[in-house]
């Protein structure tokens, strides 16, 4: 989500201008040469295994106040990520813990509220008493089959990976299988998860708050756009991908625009995108659309190669960028 740009130089106090540094326009000071770089903030997330389940806290403060999440927090300047994990775990759950292993590293360029890098640790209690503290109003252990849907994307992905590994450890055998998903049209209750997916698309990261509000409105009300989601069949279910089909009708023919396709990083290269596009292409046939377009200017090289494998050709459409 958009972040405020600084106005004055923190070194000399002069008004900042902009200049290109490292391939991007950045706030810079013409007086002393200072350049303002916006770097991700490091945070830690704690997957505390206890009594056969995992510890969640109910958040006391925004964002997502009143919802269950993994204990998490930001790393202080004078501590390591491991020290921050142990400290935050005790502050939020009352438990003294030790780290079992580094579980995952994820990033959230979409916020909220700022871009960050999340380091997740598997942990176990070695003392203390489970109770809410600091940023929590409740703390409790959830069994694998009763876990709620977590509001933060990185937390959802961590729980999904933990559940998969939990099954492997319980069965004492590795499981390497594609994601078990089904494709369906989006519902109003899917808005938060779909918006989180859309925020993963690099071209969407510079949208303003007003533009995001318009996206939410179109998602829920536009009859011209059909949004399909890929949802896991496990419990709790998780939306792991989405794709939008916009129908364009001319006087002599109709076409469809494929746009805003995204898959959670954990579920990429597991057939999710292919299943989404298969359903969307079948729907295009039902609507008697003669052509499907995809905006490859919003795609990276990996996505372009994926579309090429499906038969999409380049160079057949002229493009005018209005703004």
* Catalytic annotation, pick one of 18, 21, 83, 138: 138
Whether residue 176 contacts residue 222, with contact meaning beta carbons closer than 8 Å, is answered with no
Rounded to an integer, what distance in angstroms lies between the CA atom of residue 253 and that of residue 141?
57
Q: Are strands 254-263 and 291-294 parallel, antiparallel or unpaired?
A: parallel
CA dihedral (288, 293, 200, 322) positive or negative: negative
**Assigned token pair, 167:** 């099954």
Residue in 56, 68, 65 with CA at minimum distance from that of residue 142 = 56
98 is a catalytic site residue: no
Neighbour tally for 1: CB within 10 Å: 16
- Residues β-bridged to residue 226: 245
Rounded to an integer, what distance in angstroms lies between the CA atom of residue 223 and that of residue 227?
10
CA torsion 81-157-200-257 (nearest 10°) is: 170
Report, as residue numbers or ranges, the catalytic residues: 138
């Amino acid at each position: 989500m958009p972040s405020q740009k600084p106005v004055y130089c923190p070194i000399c106090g002069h008004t900042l201008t902009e200049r290109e540094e490292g391939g991007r326009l950045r706030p810079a000071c013409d007086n002393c040469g200072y350049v303002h770089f916006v770097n991700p903030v490091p945070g830690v997330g704690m997957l505390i295994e206890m009594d056969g389940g995992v510890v969640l806290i109910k958040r006391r403060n925004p964002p997502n106040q009143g919802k269950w999440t993994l204990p998490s927090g930001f790393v202080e300047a004078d501590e390591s990520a491991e020290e921050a994990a142990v400290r935050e775990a005790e502050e939020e759950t009352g438990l003294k813990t030790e780290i079992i292993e580094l579980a995952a590293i994820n990033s959230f360029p979409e916020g909220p509220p700022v871009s960050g890098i999340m380091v997740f640790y598997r942990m176990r209690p070695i003392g203390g008493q489970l109770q809410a503290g600091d940023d929590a109003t409740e703390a409790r252990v959830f069994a694998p089959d009763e876990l709620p849907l977590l509001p933060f994307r990185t937390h959802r992905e961590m729980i999904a990976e933990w559940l998969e590994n939990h099954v492997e450890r319980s069965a004492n055998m590795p499981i390497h299988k594609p994601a078990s998903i089904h494709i369906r049209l989006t519902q109003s209750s899917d808005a938060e998860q779909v918006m989180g997916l859309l925020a993963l698309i690099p071209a969407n990261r510079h949208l303003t708050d007003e533009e995001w509000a318009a996206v939410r409105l179109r998602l829920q009300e536009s009859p011209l756009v059909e949004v399909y989601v890929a949802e896991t069949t496990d419990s709790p279910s998780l939306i792991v991908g989405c794709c939008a089909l916009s129908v364009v009708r001319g006087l002599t023919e109709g076409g469809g625009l494929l746009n805003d396709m995204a898959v959670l990083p954990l579920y990429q290269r597991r057939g999710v995108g292919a299943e989404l596009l298969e359903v969307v292409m079948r729907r295009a046939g039902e609507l008697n659309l003669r052509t499907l377009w995809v905006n490859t200017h919003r795609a990276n090289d990996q996505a372009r190669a994926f579309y090429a494998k499906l038969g999409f050709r380049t160079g057949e459409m002229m493009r005018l960028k209005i703004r």
